[in-house]
Structure 1
Amino acid sequence: MPDLDTLVEEAKKSELFTTPQLADDMRRFLDQHRPAALALAAEARERGIKTVFFTGSGGSWSAMYSGKYFADRFTTLTTDAQLSYELIWRNPQRLGPDSLVFAASYSGETEDTVAALRFAKEAGAWTVGLANKPDSTIATEADTAIAYESSALYAMPMAAVSLFALEWGRLEGNKEAEEVLAAFDALPDIIAKAFEDCREPSLEIARALLPAQELYCVAAGPLYGLAYKFALTVFMENIRTHGSVIESAEFRHGPAEMLERQHPTMVFLLGTDESREMTQRSIDVAEANGAQVVVYDVADYPGLHPLLAPFVMKVPLQWMVVHSALLRGILDLDDRVFMGRNVLSKGGARWP
């Protein structure tokens, strides 16, 4: 097998190892698409939109979580973040002409999200598609589309819905929302520095985690969506190991009891927002009772706004996952056994 440095350089060509280009992609997104995302908020207010649904599947849903987080925190909007098929199955009574539905899909062809988009349109909702390519089904069938043309399938749609929600809050007079909007300008440089600084430490973490067969990802607040993404759509998908997500406070309501007989491997995302104290409490209990604990601390990234932590914390996590995959003999980071092979999809969808 080639040496690890050679494998890493080859991995940088992977479509789904997005971190090497993330700083440049974020800078370009802010230049090209920030005005459209902000304008959406103003237009939605003019249209009398009362409810916003954020929909997606897998990693796209985890990006939509941030839209709801910011909308709930900074606006008086009624919002929901639903997995794509759940939107259809629940058939919300609020879904109608005075609602807006964000539908996020990197490929723009996700079976679940195409179905949710069409369902929302039939209900009379205003639909906004978030996809990589402008000629995808999601982008062409949505009433409005942001085609971000980047492999950053988590960060770009997350930026779109976060900017939308924050701008809505700003228009309602929320000063903190205005401060968070301004903090976006610092993201590209912080991401670039993190990419350079995290390579070697992440390799050491990957080596330490090599025996692990199950990885729990624990977080809260603005970082919960990122924990969901890595536990359920990265650890299992890219490392091919068991994975699960736990919200920091919920660790106390059942999961902690496993420590009596198990010594799990737990990856904690420690924010600098209001959830920090609770996450630290969970870390302390896990360490004191024999768990193998890895902590990614937002405090290690100066200048990063606490609420924008997911954009940067993705970087060390992805470095760790890339190293873990390579060390486990998974050399093609884009290859999948079931996904994209018409095993999990139906109706001609090119992706689950």
Structure 2
Amino acid sequence: MSEELLEKNKKAEIFCIPYAADEIERLIDEKQGQIKEIAEEIHARNPKWLIFVGSGASWCTLYTGQYLMDRYSSLPCAIYWGPELYDRHPCLLTGDAFAILASYSGKTADTLRALEVFKENNVPTLAISKDGKGPLAQQANLLLTYESAALYTSPMAEVVMLLLELMRLRGESLRECEEISGALRKLPSNVRSVLAKSEEVAVRQTDNFKDDSPLWVIAGGALAGFGYQYAYTSIMEYLRTPAIYLHPGEFRHGPLEVLGNEKPAMIHLIGYGGCREYSLMTYEFCKKHGAKVLALDAADYFRTHPVLSPFALFPVFQYFLLYMAQAKGIDLDEYIYMHVVPYKQGEAYF
């Protein structure tokens, strides 16, 4: 393994865990006033439902918002990838809706096309982006930026802060809002407290999983979006390794038969909420029947509100990505296809 490559990858854009906690802390300090104003404007529009749209890690960030609202608010919500939005074109797509679109670059083609659909149907929009330079930021009705390369944790923190403010204005789940807000304020110190442990686990597990393909990621509840993100936009995108994401509640409805012929390599993410039972049950079944399994339990890192459980496992996955890339000889800043080879004719960025 190349130490030179390891040091280079520690400076890669995707490897943000050394400063992710600082960025969350900064956003809580600097953005609270602006977020409150945006929540007040959304509330004043009296939307009948919220629509979340994103791609890749941005979709996964918004999933946490969807989970939060489903669990604690009576305001109906839906989450879409861009192509699903304009394929379904929901009949409720009117000015009574409000759309929140996320894109790190502000240039994601599918999300920009969704923005056009919203504009055509008079749906007001909020863009969440790294900065205000991209067309998404410039064309949406409202803008919330995070000025950070921590492209998963920073926007996720902002989404949670925004929706908590909206729920307060609606008079919903006020006690829970305070609990989540308190847990959010503790996140920076909690994340910092597990960095050494997370790196140690990642180094050890890299030796166990570096040659396995595909890698299964099993996650549900508040961790479902994070599991999806790690399988498809980390393992496949950055490690160039086939990956499969599956919800633990679905494993026994057919996929368990794979254990009869294969001994798959599986990473089970276990959170604190209602899906914990299914996550543990699926992990134990796979382990018993010969799968190569790794259980990453959020409770083994730090306790937080179930909605925020992705933050507890984010450090270990960042380090796992770092050391797996070193083992595979991959430069985390180099792409072969993404943003290099046009996905369709005339399209430079997707």
Query: Which residue, out of 71, 85, 88, partners 1:87?
Result: 85
Deviations 1:183-231 (A, max 9, x none): 1100011111222321122011011001201111111110000000011
Partner of 2:334: 335
How big is the shift at 1:78?
1.2
Q: Which moved more, 1:10-19 or 1:222-231?
A: 10-19
Contact 1:15 1:334 in 2 (8 A): yes
Size of the alignment, in residue pairs? 348
State the distance in 1 between where 2:70 and 2:348 align: 33
Partner of 1:220: 220
**Structure 1: unaligned runs, 5 residues or longer:** none
Q: Which moved more, 1:264-273 or 1:296-305?
A: 296-305
Partner of 2:307: 307
1:182-221 correspondence to structure 2 within 5 Å: 182-221=182-221
Q: Which moved more, 1:34-43 or 1:296-305?
A: 34-43
How big is the shift at 1:342?
4.0
Q: Which moved more, 1:311-320 or 1:260-269?
A: 311-320
State the distance in 2 between where 1:39 and 1:183 align: 22
Cα separation, partners in 2 of 1:318 and 1:233, compared to 1, 3 Å: same
**Structure 2: unaligned runs, 5 residues or longer:** none
State the distance in 2 between where 1:161 and 1:122 align: 25
Deviations 1:266-291 (A, max 9, x none): 10111111211110000000000111
Query: Which residue, out of 51, 64, 74, partners 1:53?
Result: 51
- RMSD over aligned Cα atoms: 1.5
Q: Which moved more, 1:93-102 or 1:242-251?
A: 93-102
Between the two proteins, what is the percent identity of the paired residues? 34
Secondary structure of 1:252 counterpart: coil
Deviations 1:229-274 (A, max 9, x none): 0111111111111111111111111111111111001101111112
Contact 1:54 1:81 in 2 (8 A): yes
Cα separation, partners in 2 of 1:97 and 1:346, compared to 1, 3 Å: farther
Query: Which residue, out of 150, 160, 169, partners 1:162?
Result: 160
Cα separation, partners in 2 of 1:8 and 1:192, compared to 1, 3 Å: farther
How big is the shift at 1:132?
0.9
Deviations 1:28-77 (A, max 9, x none): 11112233333333322221111111100111111111111111111111
State the distance in 1 between where 2:100 and 2:241 align: 31
Letter aligned with residue 92 of structure 2: R
If the length of structure 1 is used for normalisation, what is the TM-score? 0.95
Q: Which moved more, 1:314-323 or 1:155-164?
A: 155-164
Deviations 1:91-112 (A, max 9, x none): 1111221211111111110111
State the distance in 1 between where 2:302 and 2:102 align: 30
State the distance in 1 between where 2:140 and 2:344 align: 21
1:319-334 correspondence to structure 2 within 5 Å: 319-330=319-330, 332-334=331-333
How big is the shift at 1:349?
4.1
How big is the shift at 1:346?
5.2
Contact 1:84 1:116 in 2 (8 A): yes
Q: Which moved more, 1:189-198 or 1:253-262?
A: 189-198
State the distance in 1 between where 2:119 and 2:130 align: 21
State the distance in 1 between where 2:230 and 2:345 align: 26
Contact 1:270 1:297 in 2 (8 A): yes
1:84-123 correspondence to structure 2 within 5 Å: 84-123=82-121
Contact 2:5 2:329 in 1 (8 A): no
Letter aligned with residue 41 of structure 1: A
1:1-352 correspondence to structure 2 within 5 Å: 2-3=2-3, 6-171=4-169, 172-174=171-173, 175-330=175-330, 332-345=331-344, 347-350=346-349, 352=350
Contact 2:53 2:111 in 1 (8 A): yes
State the distance in 2 between where 1:39 and 1:316 align: 35
Contact 1:186 1:303 in 2 (8 A): no
Cα separation, partners in 2 of 1:67 and 1:259, compared to 1, 3 Å: same
Contact 2:38 2:142 in 1 (8 A): no
Contact 1:49 1:100 in 2 (8 A): yes
If the length of structure 2 is used for normalisation, what is the TM-score? 0.95
State the distance in 1 between where 2:8 and 2:305 align: 33
Q: Which moved more, 1:84-93 or 1:287-296?
A: 84-93
Contact 1:222 1:307 in 2 (8 A): yes
Contact 2:13 2:333 in 1 (8 A): yes
